[in-house]
Amino acid sequence: MLDNYGRRINYLRVSVTNLCNLRCSYCMPTGGVKKKEHRDILRLEDIENIVKAAVRLGIDKVRITGGEPLVRKGIVQLIENLARIDGLKDLSLTTNGILLKKYARDLKKAGLNRVNISIDSLDRMKYRKITRCGNLDDVLEGIKIAKDAGLTPIKLNTVLVGGFNDDEIEDFVNLTLEDDIEVRFIELMPLGETRSWPESSFVSNETVLEKVPILIPLPFKGHGTVARMYTLPNGKGKVGLISPLSSHFCNYCNRIRVTPDGKLKSCLHSNQEIDLLNAHPDELYKLIFEGIKSKPTKHNIGIKDTTLVYRNMNEIGG
Ligand code: SAM
Ligand code: SF4
């Protein structure tokens, strides 16, 4: 359906848990987050009902995220149930990749189309440092297994953190030379944990173009496009720049989000939420309709902005 500004909203991201097996410093407090009571999070059947109602309203793309979606019990069954919903054309998942070696094949069999895998450093020590506990080799193996399982096209998400991984930009870009993958650089956003981080941590995606000026721009696809796309000369893969701070893509935004505690967010950068937890299945259509109609025209975050979102990404679903 169209929102009040004529944007076609066809993409829903559902965060199925706020828990995670990593502790990325920009996303989670050091000690992790408290496990919520069962009654305070969406049950798997609630998620299914929400997706069904959203599909009736014109949603045809769903991404499952978190927290880390692969730590949610019953995730494969959820994917299987969602994949059966008539009218859903694209079902994907964002993961830190640690558990892909265990789940990739079952997820593919259950009907998952593709995965985005987050990886912020190609250096073992630095990877451990930013995730506070992660093992880079697990992710690299996960990427390979996901590819072999056919969860393609594989997209890698790299959040640029000034002074931490901006020296690895060329290494990430070079992954696209021989491999048919998409490496997406995401500007660090001032949400939750990062609200108090120094300005120097927030690096504009223009840095990627300064460091790798040979990147060739690809045609802009318009509706629903949040990434500006590039490729290396003779590169097999692509490089995407997702720049929520330095260039807003609100005019092309086609998405809404549901948090693990059942709050519908029509904009990532707004604190406005509609409660879907405990809503009767018959009410969901109306509530989601209202959410889409109340989607703000644009977000106004910027590094120095004071209108800040209090939830961390693990509680919203990135
Ligand atoms: N655990 C999964 C993962 O890491 O891919 C899925 C959830 S995670 C919240 C989704 C994405 O949000 C990741 O790519 C992560 O790097 C990104 N993210 C988290 N906090 C962020 C922030 N403050 N600014 C920009 N991206 C952020
Ligand atoms: Fe976990 Fe993903 Fe947040 Fe890292 S970014 S702490 S992997 S939810």
The reply to whether 202 falls in a domain is no
CATH number at 288 reads 3.20.20.70
Give Cα separations from 36 to 40, 141, 148 (angstroms): 6, 31, 35
Q: What is the pLDDT of residues 247-280, one digit of tens each?
A: 777 888 899 999 999 999 998 878 789 999 999 9
Report which secondary-structure segment, H or E, holds 148: helix 136-149
CA 124, chain centre distance (Å): 23
- The CB-side HSE value for 164 (13 A sphere, CA atoms) comes to 25
Instruction: Find the 315 Cα to ligand 2 centroid distance in Å.
Output: 10
pLDDT band at 308 (very low <50, low <70, confident <90, very high): low
Q: Does residue 310 carry a pLDDT above 50?
A: yes
Give the number of domains in the chain. Answer: 1
Q: How far apart are CA 14 and CA 93, in angstroms?
A: 9
The reply to whether 219 falls in a domain is no
Domain encompassing residue 266: 11-156+250-316
Q: Does residue 11 carry a pLDDT above 60?
A: yes
Q: Does residue 157 carry a pLDDT above 50?
A: yes
Q: How far apart are CA 87 and CA 59, in angstroms?
A: 8
- The CB-side HSE value for 77 (13 A sphere, CA atoms) comes to 7
Quote the pLDDT of residue 145: 98
pLDDT band at 170 (very low <50, low <70, confident <90, very high): very high
Quote the pLDDT of residue 306: 45
Quote the pLDDT of residue 270: 80
Ligand 2 closest atom vs CA 312: 3
The reply to whether 171 falls in a domain is no
Ligand 2 pocket, CB under 6 A:
20, 22-24, 27-28, 66-68, 96, 118, 313-314
Total residues belonging to the chain: 318
Ligand positioned closest to the Cα atom of 15: 1
pTM for this prediction = 0.95
The reply to whether 309 falls in a domain is yes
Q: Does residue 56 carry a pLDDT above 60?
A: yes
Which burial class, exposed, middle or buried, applies to 271 when counting CB atoms under 10 A from its CB (0-12, 13-18, 19+)?
A: exposed
pLDDT band at 57 (very low <50, low <70, confident <90, very high): very high
Instruction: Find the 68 Cα to ligand 1 centroid distance in Å.
Output: 10
Q: What is the pLDDT of residues 71-98, one digit of tens each?
A: 999 999 999 999 999 999 999 999 999 9
Quote the pLDDT of residue 282: 92
Q: How far apart are CA 62 and CA 52, in angstroms?
A: 11
Q: What is the pLDDT of residues 193-233, one digit of tens each?
A: 898 899 999 999 999 999 999 999 999 887 767 899 999 99
Instruction: Find the 24 Cα to ligand 1 centroid distance in Å.
Output: 8
Helix, strand, or coil here: 10?
Answer: coil
Quote the pLDDT of residue 192: 82
The reply to whether 104 falls in a domain is yes
The reply to whether 25 falls in a domain is yes
pLDDT band at 309 (very low <50, low <70, confident <90, very high): low
Q: What is the pLDDT of residues 183-195, one digit of tens each?
A: 999 999 988 889 8
Quote the pLDDT of residue 68: 97
